[in-house]
Amino acid sequence: MRTTLPRRRLSAVVVVALACAIVAGLVVPATVAGGDNATTMYFDPHESEADAGETITVDLVASTHGDYVGDGIDELSVDLQYDSDLLTVTEVEHGPMLAEGADDAEVNGTADFDEDGTVSIEQEREPSGDGAVATETVATITVEVAEDAPSTETDLEITDSEAMLISEYPQASIERDGSIEIDGDSSDGAADSIPVGTPLAALVAIGGTLLFFFLRR
pLDDT score at 189: 42
Give the alpha-carbon dihedral of 191, 196, 198, 201, to 10 degrees: 150
185-204: pLDDT as tens digits = 665 443 444 444 545 555 55
Say which amino acid occupies 40: T
pLDDT score at 55: 98
Mean pLDDT of 36-56: 94
φ, ψ at 213 (rounded to 5°):
-70, -35
- Which residue, 118, 105, 100, 98, is CA-closest to 158? 118
Q: Is 117 exposed, middle or buried (0-12, 13-18, 19+ CB in 10 A)?
A: middle
User: Which alpha helices (DSSP H) does the chain contain, by range?
Assistant: 4-34, 198-216
Percent of the chain with pLDDT over 70: 68
DSSP assignment of 49-94: EEETT-EEEEEEEEEE--STTS--EEEEEEEEE--TTTEEEEEEEE
Q: What is the mean pLDDT of the chain?
A: 81
For the full predicted model, state whether its pTM sits above 0.75.
no
Mean pLDDT of 134-152: 97
Contact between residue 164 and residue 134 where contact means Cβ atoms under 8 Å apart: no
- Which residue, 52, 109, 111, 58, is CA-closest to 85? 52
Q: Residue ranges of the domains in the chain?
A: 37-184
Asked if residue 83 has pLDDT above 70, the reply is yes
Residue 129 is classified by DSSP as T
pLDDT score at 209: 55
N residues, the chain = 217
Contact between residue 99 and residue 105 where contact means Cβ atoms under 8 Å apart: yes
Asked if residue 133 has pLDDT above 80, the reply is yes
Asked if residue 68 has pLDDT above 80, the reply is yes
Give the Cα-Cα-Cα angle 41, 76, 87 (nearest 5 degrees): 60
Question: Going by CATH, does the domain composed of 37-184 fall within 2.60.40.680?
Answer: yes
Contact between residue 82 and residue 48 where contact means Cβ atoms under 8 Å apart: no
Contact between residue 44 and residue 139 where contact means Cβ atoms under 8 Å apart: no
Mean pLDDT of 12-18: 44
Asked if residue 140 has pLDDT above 50, the reply is yes
Q: How confident is the model at residue 46 (pLDDT cuts 50, 70, 90)?
A: very high
Asked if residue 1 has pLDDT above 80, the reply is no
Contact between residue 146 and residue 152 where contact means Cβ atoms under 8 Å apart: no
